Chains A and B, each alone.
Chain A
Amino acid sequence: MEFSWDLVINAIVTGIVLGGFYAAVAIGVTIAFGMLDIVNIAHPAFMIAGAYLAFLGWEDFGFDPFVSMAVFAPCGYLFGRAFYRAYHYFFERRGDESLQGLAFFFGILFIVEIGVVLVFGVDYRSISEPYLESSVSVGFVSVPWRMLVPFLVGLGMLGSVHLYLSRTFTGRTILAVSQDVEAVRLIGANPIRAKEIAFGIAVATAIIAGVLLIIIQPVEPSITREYIGRAFAICVLGGIASIPGTLVASLILGVAEALTTTFYGPSWSPAVSFGLLLLTLIFRPVGIFGR
């Protein structure tokens, strides 16, 4: 497409808004992979579970997507805690987490995807609310609410998780647990409980991200695959365990993808995340906020 500054500015704004949503997707990977050393590649599976739950709630009960978040995110939290318990019992406790654990999460990813196909079919599903169809315009830049809502919710979620981790005892224990498990015991805390709570939070954020996803665009079961690469790329680019890093990396990826889509076409956008991932690994392996 021909170059013009209007397009650039539009792409940057779109990218930033998109980045807020990516942050909502990646925060759970930052927690699980960055802080708990759990390579949860099934994270996008929990996300589409959230998307389809929101669809179900909307179609059968007329739930607003925000009602879906309020109902399903706590369920996700409880499920996440139980899920971590099982993972810990069968894999982590025996030191089998690296390879067997990875295979386990891969399996979960497929089971969820196929489960969704069996229940909902492979067609695109979407939800719509009147307020999501309107836009906010400032000058020549126009942003639809169905992008703005995920952006704002994403930022709010990151902020809340950041406050929780830095201000509460359990939160700080979660930050400490990836650094030294024995030392966590020595301060009188139970590291397994801290990890369980953290994983519950990670799954809850995935469910919310899924609801945000179906607000943004129609969803079909194999959409998970696009997000595995994105989420892990953001996590690494941001510095693995850093929440501010996750936010900055999400915004960078969002803007880079929006610019690529505008000038080279949407088919290039998946290449952006892997390109950024490779560049990060070459030039700054610890990530932007790695410490």
Chain B
Amino acid sequence: MGFLMMSCSRKKSKGLILANSLAIEGLHAGYGEVRVLSGISINVRGGETVVLLGTNGNGKSTLIKCIMGQVRPTAGRIVATIDGTSYDLIGRSTEDIVGIGISLVPEGRRLFPKLTVEENLLLGAFREFARARISDSLAFCFDAFPRLKERRRQLAGSMSGGEQQMLAIARALMALPKILLVDEPSVGLAPILVSKTIETIANLKKQLGLTVLMAEQNFRQAIRIADRGYVLVHGQIVLSADNPQALQQNELVRRFYLGVG
């Protein structure tokens, strides 16, 4: 009996987690004549935190923008599976992709600086299905980020960088995403805040059962919360690591990105 229950619950949780995933195959993209991504294939399986590592200008943000429909790839496939339904993302508008259940915490945060913290959060729940649960979501965000509750009437643009990053994350969560994309959360933050932000993302992911893909140039911090990772150099995947140890122990990563060995 006990065994049966265990297998049952395991099967259920496995089914739930596996439902939300992202698969990218042979993706090429660029801006006009400039090719930025050449044949990228990556996978984000349900419930994983996958990090996309690379220094500036190697194509991380372009890849994220392709997923969000902000940049149109020239070739390849991007398929998201949400709650067991597969969606081909290429050709869809950004609005549609958010509606499917994918949210982005964009690079540079992209808040509405002249609106208050609360107005920014409420706007995050624009999609119909998010509106229905807006008060729950707002309560959750204020609970997760007490600082935002204190400053709810303050203009977003007048907050510190760390607070703005929290708000950007909270606003993305207001859309009730199943897959959360995070682009360069460390940019412009003090080292202590970088590590706090990274931990926050890991906690929220656990609480909400999210699937996370995070692009980051701070290898050391990103590896802390990664289940798996990819290293992107000049628009190509040069390393695909199945666990954080493999990333940490890779000779190339150690030498060039972690500055050891």
Interface residues of A (CB under 8 A from B): 166, 169, 172-173, 175-176, 179-180, 182-183, 185-190, 241, 291
Contact = CB atoms under 8 A, between A and B. Distances in A.
A186 B98 contact: yes
Interface residues of B, number: 28
A180 B70 CA distance: 14
Contacts of B106: 182-183, 186
Interface of B: 68, 70, 93-95, 98-99, 103-104, 106, 110-115, 119, 122-124, 126-127, 130-131, 155, 171-172, 175
Contacts of B99: 188
A182 B68 CA distance: 11
A172 B131 contact: no
A175 B155 CA distance: 13
Given A169-B131, A291-B155, A187 B123 contact: yes
B124 A187 contact: yes
Contacts of A188: 94-95, 98-99, 126-127, 130, 175
A268 B104 CA distance: 55
Nearest to A169: B126
B222 to A, nearest CB: 22
Nearest to B134: A169
A179 to B, nearest CB: 5
17 contacts: A169-B131, A172-B119, A176-B112, A176-B123, A179-B115, A180-B112, A182-B70, A185-B93, A186-B94, A186-B98, A186-B104, A186-B106, A186-B172, A187-B98, A187-B126, A188-B127, A189-B123
A166 B114 CA distance: 13
A187 B155 CA distance: 18
Given A187-B98, A187-B175, A180 B110 contact: yes
A181 B225 CA distance: 32
A172 B124 contact: no
A172 B122 contact: yes
Contacts of A185: 70, 93-95, 98
